[in-house]
Structure 1
Amino acid sequence: MRPWRFVVWLGVVSLLADFVYEGARSVTGPLLASLGASALVVGVVTGAGEAAALGLRLVSGPLADRTRRFWGLSIGGYALTVLSVPPLGVVGVLWAACALVIAERVGKAVRSPAKDTLLSHATAATGRGRGFAVHEAMDQVGALVGPLTVAGVLALSGGAYGPALGVLAVPGLVVLGLLFRLRARVPDPEAYERRAPAPPGAPRPDGRLPAAFWTYAAFTATTTAGFATFGVLSYHLVQRHLMTASWVPVLYAAAMAVDAVAALASGWLYDRIGPRVLAVLPVLAAAVPALAFTHTVALAVAGSLVWGAAVGIQESTLRATVADLVPSPRRATAYGFFAGVVGGASLAGGALTGALYGHSVPLLITVVAALQALALVLLAVTGPGRA
């Protein structure tokens, strides 16, 4: 299978998986609120979910490098995700719903370092920025269709979460079938990278993670610590009566469409100018609360779309940079440690925005702006270069 074809098929897997879990995430805030959750609980649970999705990669990343079982970990992680979502709409008690939200994110932690390493091998031949960007754009097709499907079923069922999330079992089963097929067709994706010429200045494998990787992780952690979760954004929209719960998935779908465009644009620029393109990320993150936590529908919607653009860069170009900074034998470990650092920042960001939202929105906006200014300084000081 040619490298681009492998990237596209792995993108189809991600598309269908995003159909499942982004469909669920689009209503996490209102669903938890319907079970009695406060803004702080929503912020902590969604932040903890992101922390689990990222922090547990400290284990799954080194495990993938040590065992080289990239396909097995990918399949196991996807299985946990697609099995956690359908019951979310019928459990009926807050603690169980919170556990399922976090379990879905744990599935992402299990699979992501291994899956990103598989993808990084193929993108060595296609161009890292473009390869990761195309994969992320395909992700967002699923992230667009999933929330729209949930919104449609919610509307038809009178707001019942059970049918809306139960329908997501179908694409989940297809995900698992495609993964087994891909593993049979491409058992050793690392062969793509072995055949590709090494870029000038590429790091040599010496058993350690490069210093540039750690400074880059510090920048990413800082900007993530000041980034609101969509759970808190959607909580604001529904609780302030700016939007009904059935319309929240539609807005989320629109944000995912913006995500795809931002990923493609930043990936294209990354292959031309390198990591300097990442300077736009703190600017977007600072704009999110200033727009989204207003009492004007148009501004709140604009803030949610800016949130989508920032997520597009986070999910594509940030990952591409890691692949260029770290050689193949330690890359899954690097993805794991990178995610672990950012996971702590995600938990802090979810709790921070949830707590400050309930206390003072102007203070929330000020604190986030200060964090993003610090992130810009770190990016300028550390200046991660192309490996």
Structure 2
Amino acid sequence: MADGIEWGPADRAAGVNRLSPLRFVMAFGVVSMLADVVYEGARSITGPYLGTLGASAALVGFVTGAGEAVALVFRLVTGTLSDRTGRHWALSIAGYTLTVVSVPLLALATWLWPAAGLVVAERFGKAVRAPARDTMLAQAAGSGIGRGRAFAVHEALDQSGALLGPLLVAGMIALSGFRLAFAVLAIPGALALLTLAWLRRAAPRPVAYETDHHDAGTTVRADGRLPGRFWLYAAFTATSMAGFATFGVLSFHLQARHVLPDSLIPVTYAAAMGAAALAALASGHLYDRIGLRGLVIALPLSAVVPLLSFSTHAGPVWAGAIVWGAAMGIHESTLRAAVADMVPAARRGTGYGVFTAVYGLAWLAGSTLIGVLYGHSVTAVVVFTLATQSIALMLFVPLAFGRPSRRRPRRQPSSSSR
């Protein structure tokens, strides 16, 4: 029995979901939490590790930016594939598998380019799974629990893994160095795949959550085309991300300038992920209450990052990590929730793919340029960041204060609270 419903072999054969929508979101959050222990633990030391293999700041910016671009741009393909085939579970499982296999293999990489290839491969795994996963989360959110709330709960659980992973890595570095840190991440990776397999059996048809609630989640174009408002939203996000440094560049600075010991660098990333989890919950609540206007805080947070994170003193660097994490938490939760409300339900995978591809390319270009500018002057990085966030604000104003971007259906209690 689950959620007060008898669930037997006949139900399993018919593909009946035995989890309430909220519990489905939370369970997927646990999968993401375990996966985040793996790849966020690795990302917390990617910059310093590539540095030990001979990479420069510009190359670290390029590799980490390329990884993020791959994770985002290839969703143009995987998002459309998700919509056309409807095989959301298969794509999710394949993507998680690629990620949790690639990271431990970094323990065996002794040359720069194989290591860089594994960094990119890990991000490609995210490209494969993310549109399908986000589509299933949007379907569960369509049951009436609220899109902001659903994505915020998922992101908060996700980021708890991002907090634990860097702490685990820091301990392994203190014991033995980078290679043991990467190798031990195979354990949470295996647990993530086992949990995902269980969730697949427990909720085989997430689309039923939304169809049972009679909510397509959007009132945009009936012809299935992506609306103009969506494209303006993608442009705003891309502009903001162009001035948002990857943590690889920030952590490279910490090692290259000897601001913190190597073992403390992943701890700053853990602090960032803790801030991300809290920011996701807060911004998700605001989004459900006041819509896009609540997202404006992401812009000043992004603008402040280089002023703090490229300092040579420990105090500002720790503050910068928290600010960076808070901005990232908003980017990866509430900004995703808004996409589900701007595109037709049948095109959500495509919408997510296009949206993330656009700002992924911007992040690649921006992170590479930030790495180059860092090699010349931190002041240049600050000026570039302020300029991009100012332009993003100009794009944001018509989005937030123009006509309402989404219908707000009357909230219904979820089955877990009945």
Give the TM-score taking structure 1 as reference length.
0.97
Bigger radius of gyration among the two: 2
Select 2:170's aligned residue among 151, 157, 180.
151
Matched residue count: 385
CA–CA separation in structure 2 for the residues paired with 1:201 and 1:35: 49
Match of 1:95 in 2: 113
Structure 1 residue 143: Cα displacement:
0.5
Q: Is the 8 A contact 1:49 1:101 kept in 2?
A: yes
Match of 1:123 in 2: 141
Structural mapping, 1:1-387, within 5 Å: 1-125=19-143, 126-157=145-176, 160-198=177-215, 202-383=219-400, 385-387=405-407
Letter in 2 for 1:326: V
Structure 1 residue 200: Cα displacement:
8.8
Q: Is the 8 A contact 1:76 1:107 kept in 2?
A: yes
Q: Is the 8 A contact 1:205 1:329 kept in 2?
A: no
Letter in 1 for 2:405: G
CA–CA separation in structure 2 for the residues paired with 1:357 and 1:265: 32
CA–CA separation in structure 1 for the residues paired with 2:298 and 2:85: 35
Give the TM-score taking structure 2 as reference length.
0.90
Alignment deviations for residues 261-298 of structure 1 (CA, whole Å, 9 cap, x no partner):
00000001111000111111111111001111122211
Shift of the 269–234 alpha-carbon distance from structure 1 to 2, 3 Å rule, reads same
Alignment deviations for residues 171-218 of structure 1 (CA, whole Å, 9 cap, x no partner):
111111222221122111011111225389722541211211111001
Q: Percent identity?
A: 58
CA–CA separation in structure 2 for the residues paired with 1:315 and 1:196: 26
Letter in 2 for 1:340: A
Letter in 1 for 2:125: G
Alignment deviations for residues 311-341 of structure 1 (CA, whole Å, 9 cap, x no partner):
0000100000001111211000000000110
Q: Is the 8 A contact 2:217 2:345 kept in 1?
A: no
Shift of the 341–207 alpha-carbon distance from structure 1 to 2, 3 Å rule, reads same
Alignment deviations for residues 149-192 of structure 1 (CA, whole Å, 9 cap, x no partner):
010111111xx212111111111111112222211221110111
Q: Is the 8 A contact 2:238 2:359 kept in 1?
A: yes
Match of 2:411 in 1: none
Alignment deviations for residues 31-68 of structure 1 (CA, whole Å, 9 cap, x no partner):
00010110001000000000000000010000100110
Find runs of 4+ consecutive structure 1 residues off by over 6 angstroms: none
Gap regions ≥5 residues in structure 1: none
Letter in 1 for 2:165: G
CA–CA separation in structure 1 for the residues paired with 2:150 and 2:168: 28
RMSD, aligned α-carbons: 1.3
CA–CA separation in structure 2 for the residues paired with 1:10 and 1:356: 39
CA–CA separation in structure 1 for the residues paired with 2:214 and 2:295: 26
Q: Is the 8 A contact 2:72 2:356 kept in 1?
A: yes
Instruction: Name the SS of the counterpart of 2:341 in structure 1.
Output: helix
CA–CA separation in structure 1 for the residues paired with 2:102 and 2:212: 39
Q: Is the 8 A contact 1:205 1:330 kept in 2?
A: no
Q: Is the 8 A contact 1:90 1:161 kept in 2?
A: no
Letter in 2 for 1:20: V
CA–CA separation in structure 2 for the residues paired with 1:37 and 1:218: 32
Tell me which moved more, 177-186 or 208-217.
Answer: 177-186
Structure 1 residue 23: Cα displacement:
0.5
Structure 1 residue 78: Cα displacement:
0.4
CA–CA separation in structure 2 for the residues paired with 1:216 and 1:245: 38
CA–CA separation in structure 2 for the residues paired with 1:200 and 1:360: 47
CA–CA separation in structure 2 for the residues paired with 1:150 and 1:200: 40
